[in-house]
Amino acid sequence: MSQQVFLLLPVHNRKEVTSELIQCLLHQTYQNYSLVLIDDGSTDGTAEMVSQAIPGVVVIRGAGDWWWGGSLQRGFDWLTQVDPDEESVVLIMNDDTKFGADFLKAGVDALRRNPRSLLLSRIHDETSGQVVESAVHADLRKLVFRVARNSEEINCLSTRGLFLSWGHMKKIGGFHPRLLPHYWSDYEYSIRAHRKGFACVTDPEVVLTPDWSITGNRNVEHLSGWKFIQTLFSRKTIANPIYKTAFVVLAVPGRWMFPNIIRIWSRVLVDVVSKGVVRPLLVLFRLGP
C-alpha cells in the first residue's frame, strides 16, 4: 500500500446515491487513499454526510455551475497545488457506482502492471452479470465510437472509474470546462492522452457496477417540437451539437474537422425539419408569419 490514491469525486445533490459509494470506500482492503469531494453546489447535506463518514476528506465547494468537466478541473487544480509524489494514483469516479472491497487494490496493481497508461474500470451489469461497457475505439474521421474489439484498438476512454498516475496526469493537463462542461470532456481527455503516447487499457480484475437509472439525456429521437430543441441543446444531452462541435475542434485532426462539423449540423437541420420545428424557429427570429 505504498502508493497513495487521490480519489476525485464530483457530486451534486445525490446524498443517498453518494452514501452507497462511501460505504464501498469504507470497506476497501486498500486504505491508503485520500478522498477529494468536489461538491458542486449540493444543498442536501452531501458534503456533511461524507465528512462524518470519512474524517480528513477534502471538500471543494462550487455553486452548481461546474458540471462534470468543471468539477474535474477543480480537482486537477487542487492536485496541482498539493503536487503529490508523481507515482501517486489519481482515480476519477462517478458517485452512482458500486464496487467490491478489492477495487482500489486491483486498480493500483493493474496500473503498476501497465506503466504509462490510463486504466479504465470495466462496467459490470448487476442484472445480467456481464461486462457491458469497456474501452472505446474512436473513428475520428467519421466520428463513430464503438466498443474496442481488442486492446490494440483502444484509443478512447470514459472517466467512470479511471486510474492514472499523478505524474502522467500533469503531462496530459487539465480539462476544458467552458468548451466541454459535461459530455465529451472525458473522450477529449483520453484521446489527448493517447496522442501524447499514453496507452488506454482495461483489466478484468478492475470492475464496477453503475446505477443505470441515473444519467443524462442520451436519446432525443422520441421528442418533437420545442421539447426536442430544448432537450437537444441542454448540457445534459450528449447529442448537443454545440459541445459536439467543440469536441471536434479539440480532438479531431484538422483534415477531418470541417467534414465532421458539417455532418453534425446537417443532422441538426434534418431533425429540425422532420420534427416540425422550422415554423416556430422562423417566428422566433421574425423571419416568417
Residue 33 pLDDT > 70: yes
Distance CA 135, CA 200 (A): 8
| DSSP characters over 15-72 | HHHHHHHHHHHHT-S---EEEEEEEES--SSHHHHHHHHSTT-EEEEE-S--HHHHHH
Percent of the chain with pLDDT over 90: 76
Residue 148 pLDDT > 50: yes
192 touches 164 (CB < 8 A): no
Distances (CA, A) of 234 to 181, 230, 284: 11, 6, 19
Q: What pLDDT score does 288 carry? A: 42
Residue 97's SS3 state is strand
Distance CA 194, CA 157 (A): 10
Please provide the average confidence, as pLDDT, over all residues in the chain: 91
Domains of the chain: 5-210 (3.90.550.10), 225-284 (no CATH)
Distance CA 35, CA 32 (A): 10
Across 1-5, 11-15, 200-204, 205-209, least confident range? 1-5
Q: How confident is the model at residue 279 (pLDDT cuts 50, 70, 90)?
A: low
Q: How confident is the model at residue 275 (pLDDT cuts 50, 70, 90)?
A: confident
175 touches 182 (CB < 8 A): no
Per-residue pLDDT, averaged over 88-96, amounts to: 97
Condensed to tens digits (0 to 9), the pLDDT of residues 192-251 reads 999 999 999 999 999 999 887 776 556 677 777 777 778 888 898 999 999 999 999 999
Condensed to tens digits (0 to 9), the pLDDT of residues 51-75 reads 999 999 999 999 999 999 999 999 9
Distance CA 101, CA 50 (A): 18
Per-residue pLDDT, averaged over 172-182, amounts to: 97
Q: How confident is the model at residue 43 (pLDDT cuts 50, 70, 90)?
A: very high
**β-strands 5-11, 33-40 pairing:** parallel
Distance of CA 48 to the CA centre of its chain: 24
Residue 31 pLDDT > 90: yes
107 touches 207 (CB < 8 A): no
Condensed to tens digits (0 to 9), the pLDDT of residues 126-142 reads 777 777 677 999 999 99
DSSP 201: E
Per-residue pLDDT, averaged over 268-288, amounts to: 65
H helix or E strand, kind and range, residue 144: strand 144-147
Residue 169 pLDDT > 90: yes
Distance CA 205, CA 184 (A): 26
Q: What pLDDT score does 287 carry? A: 44
39 touches 47 (CB < 8 A): yes
Give the pTM. 0.91
Per-residue pLDDT, averaged over 244-270, amounts to: 96
**Residues 6+ away with beta carbon under 8 Å from 70:** 40, 62, 175, 177, 181
